[in-house]
Each structure stands twice: as structure tokens, then as C-alpha cells.
Amino acid sequence: MNNIIQDLFGLQNKTAIVTGGAMGIGKGIAGRLALAGASVLIADIVSEQEAAPTLDGIRQQGGKVAYIQADLSNTALLPGIVKAAVDTFGDLDILVNNAGIFKYMPITELNEDLWDKTLNLNLKAVAFLSKAFINTLIEKKHGGKIINISSIDSLKPTGNLAQYDASKGGVRMLTRSFAKEAGKYGITVNDIAPGGVNTPGVQKIAGDNLPKEQLEAMQAQTAQFIQTLPLQRIGEPDDIGNAALFLAGKASDYITGSTIVVDGGLLLM
């Protein structure tokens, strides 16, 4: 490959944290960053054993990956994750805030427990892990990249996901707010808004919460809807990984406070 292109998109000698990287979209992102040469620390709530297929897959491709098990909604653990990346790989350049939960819940049944769990992980953890990351990069006197995974639900609500939409709307504004302040430290902050992506989380929620008839109606609607999407397929984790690769590398150095929508054209519908 041409050296200039390699320089723009390669991540040799870079270190990244990817939250929620054990499966789903986070797995797609961690895989792409590692393939481009980054050393990746995956932080996820599942055990290292449960994350093993992802870790093995990255290593088999020649990638460098380490793992830390942590519930990110516990803010006390967040500085330790940043420290673990630096201790393991010697430096830190990229943070991908991907871990998130989504549970269908009609507004008539919304409860404080689900609200708090969703907001604590999807929004509060993003703020405080980013804070720890930024403070570390300031100490290290070099810039870096924060990539937040928001959702098209931050732009247009799906329905039955009020607590999720509120969290992702928050992530979208947090991205802009942090971008405004962190630019002077050479840190860019952007978000990726995925549309429908085929992940274990999506497969799982299809079975949760909604009454059977409502669920079946929704599944039938979804299948039909995918056919009408401009790109006529559901997204895959690698589709989001590809956008993250762009935002993690030099090619995106003059982009901050922006959203890349990766939705197969869903928002055009």
C-alpha cells in the first residue's frame, strides 16, 4: 500500500480502549483497530472466558489485545481502565465508548431501575471514562481520539425506547460538548450513529419485555422494513468497525464534534 495511505489509515504504535468489545459492535470495532496495528484493551462486563472467542480471533489475525473485566456503570472503576491500558501497552491514544444497553419498554411501564441502569452505562460511563482518558492524555502531552457509539435513535426515536433515546441524545450532545473543550489538547471527539446492526444484544431484546403479539408484529415489521432500506440489508458490526477505523486514524484529524451515520439509509425512510 502507498505510504501516505498507510499513514492516514494505519494505527501502528497506537493504543486503544474499546468498551463492550467482547461481542457485537464492539467486537467489530476492536477487530478493525487491531487489524490496522493498534494494541487494544477491551473492557467489558463478561468474564475473560466468555470474551475468549473475540480475543482469540484478534490474536489469530496477528493483533495485540488485552482484556479487563469491569462493569462500566460503576464509575469508581473507570480511571483504573485507563491506567490498565497505559500499564499494559505503555501509552494511550484512542477511546471507543461503545458499551451500551437497550431494552424495549413502553412509556406506560418505564421504571426508575431501567432508567438508572441505562443512563449510568450509556451516558454517565461515557462522560467519566472520557474524562479519565482526557486527563491522562493531557499528562502525556499528546492528542488522541474519542469515538462514541450513539445511535440513529439520538436523531429519530424508534419507539418503546424512551430511556435509551434519552441516553443516546445525551451521548450526541456530550460528543459536541467534549469536542469543544478537548480540541485544545489535540483530542478529537466524534460519534457514530448506527442504524440496525445484527448483534447478540439485538437478537436478545427481540425476546424481552414486549407482549407476544406486540413482539411478533414488531419482528414482522422489522423484516419488511429491512427489505425497504435503501441498502436492503441489516448492518454488520464490521460496518461500524470501518467507520471507527476512519475516525481513529490520521485521515480524520480535522473532524471533531461530528456524527457519522452508518445506517444503510434508514434515516432516509
Q: Does 72 bind ligand NAD (CB under 6 A)?
A: yes
Which of the 8 DSSP states describes residue 53?
H
Q: Has 185 been annotated as catalytic?
A: no
Burial letters 175-213, b for 16+ CB under 10 A, else e: beebbeebeeeebbbbbbbbbbbebebbeebeeeebeee
Site map for ligand NAD, 191-230, x if CB under 6 A? ---x-xx-xxxx----------------------------
Q: Does 264 bind ligand NAD (CB under 6 A)?
A: no
Q: Does 102 bind ligand NAD (CB under 6 A)?
A: yes
**Contact between residue 43 and residue 72 where contact means Cβ atoms under 8 Å apart:** yes
- Pairing mode of beta strands 64-69, 94-97: unpaired
Give 22 or 41: the residue with its C-beta nearer to ligand NAD.
22
Pick one of 34, 44, 94, 134: the residue that binds ligand NAD (CB under 6 A): 44
Choices 16-24, 210-218, 221-229, 246-254 (CB under 6 A): range interacting with ligand NAD? 16-24
Pick one of 33, 82, 101, 161: the residue that binds ligand NAD (CB under 6 A): 101
Burial letters 233-260, b for 16+ CB under 10 A, else e: ebbebebbbebbbbbbbeebeeebbebb
- Phi first, then psi, for residue 87 (nearest 5°) are -65, -40
Q: Which residues are catalytic?
A: 164
**Given the rule CB under 6 A, which residues bind ligand NAD?**
20, 22-26, 44-46, 71-73, 98-102, 121, 149, 151, 194, 196-197, 199-202
